[in-house]
């Protein structure tokens, strides 16, 4: 189960951090999308080709035009600016877990935060408290606003559908973690 | 097993096997790495205040083994951190981990204090003025010669400061109002900072006794902005939008994303404003960095700002979009009852004969002040809350109209299309901006800075734009127009909590300086002997409203010996020759030892003006000295910066100007210095004695029981020095729907003082209403140079500060050479391509200046802009000889061009730039030029 969760988190992370390519859309996406359809009842229509999705990605995540999402937690939570207190807190969460991002971007990029969840899922020792804490203190505080903005600014059905899937997945996964925690308590 | 979990296992069965995107793992272990974070250098932190520009941002300096290694922003300082990012004032400095913002200039301060081009010893010229030959002298010799005079240069006797200080003999017995001979000593300070400004005022005015104190540079900055606003508010002269909570902001002639002040706070706040959907309009012929971020860019013709604002008023009044109720309020109490902090004089009756307000006595209404009209009946203004806005009537045989009626008539003098034509744009543009401005309640502001005011019509433009705000009643509202700002604790004392009243006491033997200043600022020509003899015009203009000095008039007036000859000039952190429009016209005067027998420059490097002086006395750099800088009203919380030395002086043979002046004072026995300088056993022997008093005033605060923590005065001062100043916390920005330190009281739509004053040259009355005037010379004649077909403007680069960053290697690295920037259409018709060498010339300087062209779409056709800060001919670009040894010339300095030498001189006066006769602003944007490929 942890591997499946990690795969879903890393898929979301990847489509926010890298320009989507043929491998991702043709090979990885079908697995993830059918799982998400099953879990969340969302629908994926995939109306666009890879080039169109990449163009949308560039507008949303790279160019600072009016479509730019500013995908950083501090933008959504601290006065609209990058490198805010949230950035420091996210960095501290990574350090506390004994890891650092290898990407030359700010630590509170949505993609990095999602990949951090994937990392936590893949850890050998179960760390449900850490996972819940990171969702509570970070991702859940801004994922809805982020997804709303993504839906508003996106030109493709791909990212629009991703936006509702991500929002629902985070809530689903959060409930799952809490359920698993309860199970842990009972066993203990 | 629970539902969620079961469903998950079922739904994700295909994903459960292996990692799908194993090449996309973004995290690696950081175990074993230092927990220090990104900055492993362990260093001492000293907080101070920047002076790379005038914004006065807090800085946090890292000192390693006594060497300054890095400058960051001070996170306590409101210029450097927004909202929650700001460190609370009570936070222990040891626990501060975050950094504040600081711009490129601020970080490059390090390259200034350690710059090898700094002047290291006192220098005296060793040849004719401007020969570039110097000898090193001791401070004792410098002070002795400057005070006692003598045959200092083998060119004959030179009077020293001691004999010039004659406080009893009139400088001109036929015109005693000009004051005593001591006024023949003149001070000129380029950048006068709080703390030092008050120190030099005390020295020149209150101890030496010359009326020619300070003469700061504000008139080549934006003085008509201040003067214009001073004629709109009582005693206040700076507005800024409350950016963060605004919805619609118009910036006339300023680019907050690269200039204005505090630039880094303005752009940070504007980012938040834009993030929240705010609309920004940039009115500027140049497509600036700010225009690139704006919703609307309006490239009007230079000098037509007032016409644009009047066009907006035309649309607003025609469509009844003004706040009628606000304008009807007659008093502050009435304004308050209506929910405002302010009110206007729109409803007051103005006499058409004297241009002054009708007084109750004239109206037969007994004792009182102003007269308003209620249902057609004249009434004392303070007996009613509301009065008619539009009224024309005769009271006791005196023809009168309300200020608002006069405004309406003025606005109706032209149609929207006629205003648009003056601006060189379509009427719909004005209409759209007027609509936007009146569609956001009180959360809209019309702001401006240098652009509209550095013209001959500057004060009028300032008033016209400011009054747009009064029409929507936005003053002091959250999200509206801020006319006060957070302000500061009073370093000069005089408030209940301050321990030292430096304004009124602590100066035994204080002298009262009298007479007319050399630049005739704040002086009324009609009171002079000359006026009684000659009438209009005066020999040179007088500036009764220019309370901020008139920088560009000082040297031409010295040359004209008007109103009296000068014997000694001190310049401090100033470079009038380079930085003033037409400043090269000052060179003959500065070279003339008859007109100007003694010149002393306090400088840190070889500026164009210092190079022409008799003595150069090396000042300490801002990272080695003290001050108490204030911030602009863009900051809504109380802020008193503390500048203090962050390192020991790099060059031990340099001296703080304050210490030099104290030594001169002690030698001359001037009152208020030495062991009893502040009073019995209260010494003023060093700069630190002075600044300790100022810091104590800030630390104790304005109100009683308002002191910062600390058992003793010294501990309290340490408390603010550790934090780089005293700062009110960010939660004090607002009070309900208003800003927390709001301007309260009257807003002048009609200004009777202005309307009833006469110009010293034309003999004509000024205008008390918003008005557009074309560009005129000092005699009121239109300035036209038809053979010059392009219009020159200037702009500021975000990584430079006017004249004084040209020798900073980090900043020069960013752009090695500036360009004359010209539109593609104009370039094509002249066969000019980017990189071509061009000559730019004007009617007053046909020889022109030379540089390279940059062909661009980002400027309106017909306009050429030359960014400031380049084109130096000194500043290290030229070799000098010191004690017979040649200094090295530095190849990276002196490239590019400056527009100042070709700026239009006044056709009548011929030795000074065009200028605004009211506020005193020097014209930077009224020169017609020719540009040709060479």
Q: How confident is the model at residue B34 (pLDDT cuts 50, 70, 90)?
A: low
Contact (CB<8Å) A18/B24: yes
Partner residue facing B16 (CB), from A4, A119, A122: A4
Q: Does A172 contact B at CB distance below 8 Å?
A: yes
> Is the peptide bond between B537 and the residue preceding it cis, with omega within 30 degrees of 0?
yes
Average pLDDT of the residues of chain B: 96
Task: Report d(CA B576, CA B922) in Å as an integer.
Answer: 12
| pLDDT given at position B36 | 45
Looking at the partner chain, which of B8, B15, B25 has a beta carbon nearest the beta carbon of A32? B15
Query: B42 pLDDT exceeds 80?
Result: no
The sign of the torsion formed by the CA atoms of A118, A123, A124, A127 equals: negative
CA dihedral of residues B84, B85, B87, B93 (deg, nearest 10) = 150
List Cβ neighbours of A32 (8 Å cut-off, separation of 6 or more).
A7, A8, A11, B15, B20
B-contacting residues in A 123-162 (Cβ below 8 Å): none
- With CA atoms as reference, the chain B residue closest to A11 would be B21
Q: Which chain A residues are within 8 Å of B98, Cβ to Cβ?
A: 85, 88
Angle at A115 between CA A109 and CA A118, to 5 degrees: 155
Phi, psi of B666 (to 5 degrees): -65, -40
For residue range B263-286, what is the model confidence (pLDDT) as tens digits? 999 999 999 999 889 999 999 999
CA–CA distance, B418 with B439 (Å, rounded to integer) = 24
Whole-number percent of chain B with pLDDT over 90: 92
- How high is the pLDDT of residue A105? 86
The DSSP result for B656-691, as a single string, is -HHHHHHHHHHHHT-TT-EEEEEETTEEE-SHHHHH
Q: Tell me, what's the pLDDT at A186?
A: 75
Token pair for A66: 């009016």
Give the pLDDT mean for B468-493: 97
pLDDT at B97: 84
Please name the residue of chain B whose CA is at the shortest distance from the CA of residue A118. B25
Q: What is the DSSP letter of B22?
A: G
What is the reported pLDDT for A188?
60
Structure tokens at B270: 């504007």
Cα distance between residue B100 and residue B103, in whole Å? 10
| Contact status of A47 with chain B (Cβ, < 8 Å) | no
User: Measuring CA to CA, which residue among B672, B623, B775 is closest to residue B199?
Assistant: B672
| A31 interfacial to chain B (CB closer than 8 Å) | yes
SS3 of residue B383 by DSSP: helix
Distance from CA of B73 to the nearest CA of A (A): 14
Report residue B510: phi and psi, to 5°.
-50, 135
**B212: buried, middle or exposed (CB in 10 Å: 19+, 13-18, 0-12)?**
buried
Using a CB-CB distance cutoff of 8 angstroms, which residues of chain A are in contact with residue B97? 88
Q: Which residue of A has its CA nearest to B274?
A: A80
B26·A13 Cβ contact <8 A: yes
Q: Quick one: pLDDT at residue A81?
A: 80
Phi, psi of B501 (to 5 degrees): -95, 85
Residues ≥6 apart with Cβ < 8 Å to B543: B519, B520, B521, B522, B523, B550, B553, B917, B918, B919, B920
Cβ of A81 under 8 Å from any chain B Cβ?
Answer: yes
Q: Tell me, what's the pLDDT at B12?
A: 87
Dist CA B188 CA B195 (whole Å)? 16
Which chain B residue has the Cα nearest residue A84?
A: B85
Residues of B in contact with A119 (CB under 8 A): 25-27
**Are the C-beta atoms of residues B174 and B529 closer than 8 Å to each other?**
yes
Residues 6+ apart with CB under 8 A from B714: none
Do A175 and B4 count as a contact with CB atoms less than 8 A apart?
yes
Please check whether residue A9 touches B, CB under 8 A.
no
Q: Measured between CB atoms, which of B17, B26, B82 is closest to A79?
A: B82
**Closest partner CB to B272 (pick from A1, A7, A80):** A80
User: B492 near B504, Cβ under 8 Å?
Assistant: no
Burial class (CB in 10 A: 0-12, 13-18, 19+), B168: exposed
What is the number of helices (H) and of strands (E) in chain B?
Answer: 28, 39
Residues 6+ apart with CB under 8 A from B304: B422, B423, B424, B772
Q: Which of B5, B24, B276 sits opposite A179 (nearest CB)?
A: B5
Asked if B437 contacts B444 with a C-beta cutoff of 8 angstroms, the reply is yes
What pLDDT is recorded for position A30? 92
Of B473 and B236, which is predicted with more confidence? B473
Model confidence at B365: pLDDT above 70: yes
Q: Are strands B185-189 and B568-572 parallel, antiparallel or unpaired?
A: parallel
- pLDDT tens track for B773-808: 999 999 999 999 999 999 999 999 999 998 999 999
Q: B8 vs A39: CB contact, 8 Å cut-off?
A: yes
Which residue in A80, A89, A169 has the most chain B C-beta atoms within 10 A of its own C-beta, making it the best mutation to test that interface? Answer: A80
Question: In this predicted model, what pLDDT tens digit does every residue of B645-676 receive, in sequence order?
Answer: 999 999 999 999 999 999 999 999 999 999 99
B687/B501 Cα distance (integer angstroms): 17
Q: How many angstroms away from the CA of A88 is the closest CA of chain B? A: 9
* Distance, CA of B757 to CA of B526 (rounded, Å): 10
In B431-541, beta strands by DSSP E = 444-448, 481-482
Closest residue, chain A, to B20 (C-alpha): A7
Distance from C-alpha of B649 to C-alpha of A80, rounded to nearest angstrom = 41
Strand partners, B251: B282, B447
When scoring B25, B26, B32, B80 by the number of chain A Cβ atoms within 10 A, the one with the most, hence best to mutate, is B26
* Cα B796 from Cα B288, distance rounded (Å): 10
pLDDT at B31 over 80: no
Contacts B25 to A, Cβ<8 Å: 10, 115, 118-119
For residue B717, name the pLDDT band (cuts at 50, 70, 90).
very high
Tell me: the pLDDT tens digits for B600-610? 999 999 999 99
Kindly determine whether residue B83 and residue A38, on different chains, have CB atoms separated by under 8 Å.
no
Which of A68, A77, A79, A124 to substitute to test the interface with B, most B CBs within 10 Å?
A79
B24 → closest Cβ in A13, A78, A95? A13
Task: Say whether B5 and A85 touch across the interface (CB within 8 A).
Answer: no
pLDDT for B1 equals 56
- Mean pLDDT over B422-437 rounds to 98
Which residues of chain B approach chain A closer than 8 Å at the C-beta? 2, 4-5, 7-21, 24-31, 33, 35, 37, 82-85, 97-98, 268, 271-272, 275-276
Check: CB of residue B47 under 8 Å from CB of residue B63.
Answer: no
Contacts of B14 in chain A (CB under 8 A): 31, 34-35
Write down how long chain B is.
934
Residue B469 pLDDT level (bands cut at 50, 70, 90) = very high
Q: Distance between CA atoms of B806 and B878, rounded to whole angstroms?
A: 13
pLDDT in tens, B749-763: 999 999 999 999 999
Residue B65 has pLDDT above 90, yes or no: no
Residue range B161-203, pLDDT digits in tens: 999 999 999 999 999 999 999 999 999 999 989 999 999 999 9
Check pLDDT > 60 for residue B38.
Answer: no
Q: Is the pLDDT of residue A185 over 90?
A: no
- Residues of B with CB below 8 A from A98's CB? 29-31
Note the ipTM here. Answer: 0.91
> What does the pLDDT read at residue B5?
84
3-state secondary structure B843-906: CCEEEEEEEEEEEECCECCCEEEEECCCCCCCCCCCCCEECCEECCCCCCCCCCCCCHHHCCEC
Using DSSP, state whether B778 is helix, strand or coil.
coil
pLDDT at B41 over 70: no
Query: What is the Cα–Cα distance from B816 to B895, expressed in whole angstroms?
Result: 7
pLDDT of residue B373: 98
What whole-number distance in Å separates Cα of residue B751 and Cα of residue B841? 40
Main-chain phi, psi angles of B373, to 5 degrees: -120, 125
B567 neighbors B159 (Cβ within 8 angstroms): yes
Query: Using the beta-carbon criterion (under 8 Å), do B25 and A119 form an inter-chain contact?
Result: yes
Helix (H, G, I), strand (E, B) or coil at B308: helix
pLDDT at B39: 55
Give the model confidence (pLDDT) of A3-33 as tens digits: 999 999 999 999 999 999 999 999 999 999 9
Nearest to B797 by CA among B859, B895, B857, B868: B868
Which ranges in A41-139 belong to alpha helices (H)? 50-57, 73-77, 85-96, 110-122, 128-134
- The answer to whether the CB atoms of A1 and B35 lie below 8 A apart is no
Cβ distance B143 to B152 under 8 Å? no
- Furthest C-alpha separation in chain A: 53
Number of Cβ pairs < 8 A linking chain A and chain B: 132
Percent of residues, chain B, with pLDDT higher than 70: 99
Q: CB burial class (10 A; 0-12, 13-18, 19+) of residue B376? A: exposed
Contact B88, B77 (CB under 8 A): no
A14 near B CB under 8 A: yes
Q: Do A112 and B28 touch (CB under 8 A)?
A: no
Nearest-Cα distance to chain A for B838, in Å, is 36
The stretch B567-590 carries a mean pLDDT of 98
In tens, the pLDDT along B511-522 reads: 999 999 999 999
């Amino acid at each position: 189960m942890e591997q499946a969760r990690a795969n879903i988190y890393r898929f979301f992370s990847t489509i926010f951090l890298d320009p989507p390519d043929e491998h991702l859309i043709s090979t990885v996406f079908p697995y993830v999308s059918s799982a998400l359809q099953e879990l969340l009842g969302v629908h994926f229509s995939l109306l666009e080709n890879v080039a169109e999705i990449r163009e949308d990605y560039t507008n949303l995540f790279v160019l600072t035009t009016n479509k730019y999402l500013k995908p950083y937690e501090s933008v959504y939570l601290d006065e609209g600016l990058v490198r805010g207190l949230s950035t420091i807190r996210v960095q501290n969460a990574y350090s506390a877990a004994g890891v650092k991002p290898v990407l030359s971007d700010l630590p509170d990029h949505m993609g990095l935060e999602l990949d951090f969840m994937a990392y936590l899922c893949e850890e050998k020792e179960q760390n449900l408290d850490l996972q819940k804490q990171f969702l509570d203190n970070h991702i859940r505080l801004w994922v809805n606003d982020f997804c709303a903005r993504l839906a508003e600014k996106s030109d493709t059905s791909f990212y629009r559908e991703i936006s509702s899937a991500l929002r629902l997945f985070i809530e689903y996964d959060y409930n799952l973690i809490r359920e698993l925690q309860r199970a842990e308590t009972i066993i203990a | 097993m629970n539902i969620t979990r079961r469903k998950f296992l079922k739904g994700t069965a295909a994903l459960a096997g292996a990692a799908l995107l194993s090449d996309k793992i973004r995290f690696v272990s950081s175990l074993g790495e230092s927990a220090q974070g990104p900055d492993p250098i362990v260093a001492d932190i000293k907080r101070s205040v920047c002076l790379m520009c005038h914004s006065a941002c807090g800085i946090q300096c890292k000192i390693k083994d006594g060497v300054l290694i890095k400058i960051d922003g001070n996170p306590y300082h409101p210029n450097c951190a927004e909202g929650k990012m700001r460190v609370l004032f009570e936070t222990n400095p040891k626990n501060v981990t975050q950094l504040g913002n600081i711009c490129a200039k601020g970080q490059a301060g390090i390259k200034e204090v350690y710059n090898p081009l700094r002047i290291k010893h006192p220098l005296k010229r060793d040849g004719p003025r401007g020969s570039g030959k110097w000898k090193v002298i001791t401070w004792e010799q410098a002070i002795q010669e400057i005070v006692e005079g003598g045959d200092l240069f083998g060119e004959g006797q030179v009077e020293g400061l001691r004999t010039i200080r004659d406080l009893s003999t009139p400088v001109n017995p036929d015109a005693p109002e000009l004051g005593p001979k001591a006024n023949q000593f003149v001070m000129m300070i380029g950048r006068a900072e709080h703390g030092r400004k008050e120190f030099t005022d005390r020295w020149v005015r209150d101890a030496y006794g010359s009326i020619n104190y300070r003469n700061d540079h504000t008139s080549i900055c934006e003085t008509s902005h201040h003067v214009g606003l001073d004629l709109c508010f009582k005693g206040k002269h700076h507005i800024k939008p409350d950016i963060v909570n605004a919805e619609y902001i118009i910036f006339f002639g300023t680019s907050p994303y690269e200039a204005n002040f505090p630039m880094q706070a303005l752009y940070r706040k504007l980012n938040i404003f834009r993030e929240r959907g705010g609309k920004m309009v940039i009115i500027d012929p140049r497509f600036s960095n700010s225009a690139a971020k704006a919703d609307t860019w309006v490239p009007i013709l230079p000098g037509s700002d007032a016409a644009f604002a009047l066009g907006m008023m035309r649309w607003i009044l025609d469509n009844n979009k003004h706040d009628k109720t606000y304008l009807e309020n007659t008093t502050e109490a009435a304004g308050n009852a209506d929910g405002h902090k302010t009110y206007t004089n729109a409803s007051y009756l103005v006499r058409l004969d004297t241009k002054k307000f009708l007084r109750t006595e004239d109206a037969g209404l007994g004792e009182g002040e102003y007269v308003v009209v209620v249902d057609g009946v004249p009434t004392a203004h303070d007996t009613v809350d509301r009065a008619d806005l539009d009224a024309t009537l005769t009271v006791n045989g005196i023809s009168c109209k309300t200020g608002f009626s006069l405004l309406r008539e003025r606005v109706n003098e032209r149609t929207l299309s006629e205003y648009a034509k003056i601006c060189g744009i379509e009427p719909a543009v004005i209409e759209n901006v007027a609509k936007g401005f009146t569609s956001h309640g009180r959360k809209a502001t019309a702001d401006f800075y240098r652009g509209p005011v550095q013209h001959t019509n500057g004060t009028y433009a300032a008033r016209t734009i400011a009054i747009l705000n009064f029409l929507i009643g936005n003053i002091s509202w959250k999200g509206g127009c801020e006319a006060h700002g957070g302000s500061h604790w009073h370093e000069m004392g005089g408030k209940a909590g301050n321990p030292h009243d430096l304004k009124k006491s602590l100066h035994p033997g204080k002298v009262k300086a009298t007479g007319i200043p050399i630049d005739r600022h704040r002086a009324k020509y009609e009171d002079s002997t000359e006026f009684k003899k000659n009438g209009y015009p005066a020999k040179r203009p007088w500036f009764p409203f220019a309370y901020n000095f008139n920088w560009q008039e000082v040297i031409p007036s010295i040359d004209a010996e008007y109103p009296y000859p000068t014997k000694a000039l001190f310049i401090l952190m100033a470079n009038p020759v380079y930085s003033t429009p037409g400043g090269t016209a000052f060179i003959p005067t500065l070279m003339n030892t008859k007109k100007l027998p003694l010149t002393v420059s306090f400088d840190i490097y070889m500026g164009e003006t210092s190079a022409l002086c008799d003595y150069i006395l090396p000042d300490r750099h801002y990272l080695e000295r003290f001050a108490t800088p204030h911030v602009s009203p863009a900051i809504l919380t109380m802020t008193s910066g503390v500048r203090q030395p962050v390192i020991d002086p790099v060059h031990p043979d340099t001296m703080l100007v304050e210490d030099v002046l104290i030594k001169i004072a002690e030698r001359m026995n001037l009152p208020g210095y030495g062991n009893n300088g502040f009073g019995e056993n209260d010494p003023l022997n060093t700069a630190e004695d002075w600044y300790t008093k100022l810091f104590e005033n800030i630390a104790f605060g304005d109100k009683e029981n308002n002191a910062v923590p600390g058992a003793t005065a010294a501990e309290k001062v340490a408390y603010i020095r550790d934090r780089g100043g005293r700062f009110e916390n960010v939660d004090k920005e607002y009070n309900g729907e208003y800003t927390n330190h709001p301007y309260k009281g009257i807003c002048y739509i009609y200004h009777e003082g202005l309307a009833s004053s006469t110009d010293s040259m034309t003999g004509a009355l000024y205008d008390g209403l918003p008005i557009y005037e074309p560009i005129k010379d000092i005699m009121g004649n239109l300035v036209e140079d038809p053979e010059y077909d392009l219009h020159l403007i200037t702009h500021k680069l975000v990584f430079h500060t006017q004249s004084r960053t040209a020798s900073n290697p980090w900043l020069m690295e960013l752009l090695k050479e500036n360009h004359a920037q010209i539109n593609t259409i104009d370039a094509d018709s002249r066969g000019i391509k980017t990189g071509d060498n061009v000559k730019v010339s004007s009617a007053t300087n046909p020889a022109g200046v030379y540089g390279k062209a940059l062909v661009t779409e980002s400027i309106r056709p017909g306009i050429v802009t030359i960014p400031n800060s380049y084109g130096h001919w000194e500043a290290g670009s030229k070799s000098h000889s010191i004690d017979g040894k040649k200094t090295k010339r530095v190849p990276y300095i002196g490239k590019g061009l400056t527009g100042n030498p070709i700026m239009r001189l006044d056709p009548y006066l011929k030795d000074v730039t065009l200028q605004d006769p009211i506020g005193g602003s020097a014209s930077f944007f009224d020169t017609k030029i020719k540009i040709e490929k060479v």
